[in-house]
Amino acid sequence: MLSEIAVRQAKSKDKDYKLSDSEGLYLYVTKTGKRSWRLKYRFAGKERRLVFGAYPEISLKEAREKKVEARKLLAEGRDPGIEAKKEAIGRSRAAANTFEVMARSWFALQEDRWTPVHANDVITSLEKEVFPWVGALPVAELDEPMVLTVLRKIEKRGAIETAHRVRQRMSAVFVHAIAEGHGTRDPAAVVGKALKPVPRSKKRPAILDVEGLQDMIRKTEVEPASPLTKLASRFAALTAQRLGAIRTVAWEELEEIDWESGEPCPEALWRIPASHMKLTIDLKHDETFDHLVPLQPEAVSVLRAARRLTGRGPLVFPSIRNARVPMSENTLSYFYNRCGYQGRHVPHGWRASFSTIMNEWAERNGSPGDRYVIDLMLAHIPQGVSGSEGAYNRAAFLERRREIAIEWARMIFGCFCEPGKLLSYPSR
């Protein structure tokens, strides 16, 4: 049998040679001095060889242990050479099926079910929060502590709700990997209770009087900031639509606007695709459920000003870094916070402002029936109306909706400058 010293002192010779140990194990030394452990054995009546690996990466002791394992396989009637190849293929497959590969495979299957905004949110959260830490690791090798470490990084920023959403998405990826035969367990499933609980939701703050809104508009529009941010803020205020729709509005969604002449456009309309609305999946691909937003002259002026900045791209309010990607969901929030409105008004708050002020206006004017129309303008399902009926009615009362929209614009923007002048204001 070989000793560790004999193995260590084995030098190259004029030709390749072997140093035998026991039971078919030997050290193979090439004339260039490379040394490797090999096993000679017989299987199915034929002599075969199995390479364990190079010395000194594999020691004499480790080579003997591998020999014992190989002999056990032979005793079970299995060829250790074939088993080694299977193991190598398994390792190769595991290395190829990383968490990122599995996540992108899962995302590709799910993407059509989601709105573009939600789909972008899902993949961006994985790219930002998960892939940098565990994306390159085989999905089958991830365990609970590794998943929890990723989620703790998100928690430390105070983004508790984001941590829970990312955990759910990681769990879905693990389940997908199991179904595809690339994993056996979902370590994200059991770490949820180890996370901080999601705080109880609070009402989104909003200014609910005309004077307060006018004061806010006045202060925010003189604040140094991107002109496009200010235009997006005006458009959000005028239309009172959800922030996701504001951020992703495309030029092709805007109808009955003459971009060349600058003439009034009394029939101007924003058609928000059903796929961008809060609807059940089966309704999202039906144009019947598009949401129609009549645009006041003030909103058209905002769009004409924005067109000078972004008219060559597909989106009205794109990211400053990529014209094909929507403005960040945090852009307007950060802008309002910087202007001193943190905890007082958020982008979504324009919807509450519009609803409160215009419902009070309708009551004062003896038009309580306008409450139904105002709900339709916000894409809410009016009380006492079924979900499907409410969705079908989204195109109803279009002229009355336009009248209410014009009155809303007159109330809050009647004394402010033309949007085009915002392009010359100081940028941040």
Please report the pLDDT score of residue 284 as a whole number.
56
Please report the pLDDT score of residue 202 as a whole number.
67
Summarize pLDDT for 230-246 with one digit per residue, the tens: 999 999 999 999 999 99
Domain with CATH 1.10.443 in the chain: 210-424
Q: Is the peptide bond before 326 cis (omega within 30 degrees of 0)?
A: no
Summarize pLDDT for 291-314 with one digit per residue, the tens: 999 999 999 999 999 999 999 999
Residue 354 CA from chain centroid, whole number = 30
Is the pTM higher than 0.85? The answer reads no
Please report the pLDDT score of residue 418 as a whole number.
83
d(CA 200, CA 384): 28
For the record, the structure tokens of 290 come out as 């598009």
Residues 371, 359 contacting (CB under 8 angstroms): yes
Domain with CATH 3.30.160.390 in the chain: 4-88
Polymer length in residues for the chain: 428
Of 268, 201, 279, the residue nearest 406 (C-alpha): 268
DSSP of 118-171: HHHHHHHHHHHHTHHHHTTSBGGG--HHHHHHHHHHHHHTT-HHHHHHHHHHHH
Regarding the domain delimited by 99-194, which CATH topology (the fold level of the hierarchy) does it fall under? DNA polymerase; domain 1 (1.10.150)
Summarize pLDDT for 121-156 with one digit per residue, the tens: 999 999 999 999 999 999 999 999 999 999 999 999
| Per-residue pLDDT tens listing for the chain (428 residues) | 889 899 888 999 999 999 999 999 999 999 999 999 999 999 988 899 999 999 999 999 999 999 999 999 999 988 988 888 877 766 666 567 899 999 999 999 998 888 777 888 999 999 999 999 999 999 999 999 999 999 999 999 888 999 999 999 999 999 999 999 888 999 999 999 999 998 876 678 999 999 999 999 999 999 999 999 999 999 999 999 999 999 999 999 999 999 988 898 999 999 998 876 765 554 556 566 789 999 999 999 999 999 999 999 999 999 988 999 999 989 999 999 999 999 999 999 999 999 999 999 999 999 988 999 999 999 987 655 555 555 555 557 899 999 999 999 999 987 777 887 888 776 76
For the record, the structure tokens of 318 come out as 């794109």
Of 83, 2, 81, the residue nearest 40 (C-alpha): 81
d(CA 70, CA 76): 10
CATH entry, 4-88, from 3.40.47.10, 3.40.50.150, 3.30.160.390, 3.40.50.620: 3.30.160.390
Domain with CATH 1.10.150.130 in the chain: 99-194
Please report the pLDDT score of residue 280 as a whole number.
52
Residue 43 CA from chain centroid, whole number = 54
d(CA 148, CA 130): 11
Helix 99-110 and helix 160-179, axial crossing angle in degrees, nearest 10:
90
Please report the pLDDT score of residue 175 as a whole number.
94
What residue type is 185 in one-letter code?
R
d(CA 96, CA 78): 27
For the record, the structure tokens of 377 come out as 């303008």
Please report the pLDDT score of residue 345 as a whole number.
96
Place of tokens 């365990």: 143
Regarding the domain delimited by 210-424, which CATH topology (the fold level of the hierarchy) does it fall under? hpI Integrase; Chain A (1.10.443)
Please report the pLDDT score of residue 338 as a whole number.
94
Long-range contacts of 22-29 (CB under 8 A, 24+ apart): 23/67, 23/71, 24/67, 25/63, 25/64, 25/67, 27/2, 27/55
d(CA 310, CA 323): 8
Residues 195, 167 contacting (CB under 8 angstroms): yes
Pairing outcome for strands 35-43 and 254-255:
unpaired
Please report the pLDDT score of residue 289 as a whole number.
74
Please report the pLDDT score of residue 414 as a whole number.
79
**Apex CA 111: angle with CA 128 and CA 349, to 5°?**
65
Residues 25, 83 contacting (CB under 8 angstroms): no
DSSP secondary-structure letter at 102?
H
Residues 74, 84 contacting (CB under 8 angstroms): no
d(CA 32, CA 14): 9
Backbone φ and ψ for 373, nearest 5 degrees, come out as: -65, -40
Handedness of CA 393, 397, 399, 401 (dihedral sign): negative
d(CA 343, CA 336): 10
Q: Where are the beta strands (DSSP E) in 30-123?
A: 35-43, 46-54
What residue type is 324 in one-letter code?
R
Please report the pLDDT score of residue 368 as a whole number.
86
What residue type is 160 in one-letter code?
I
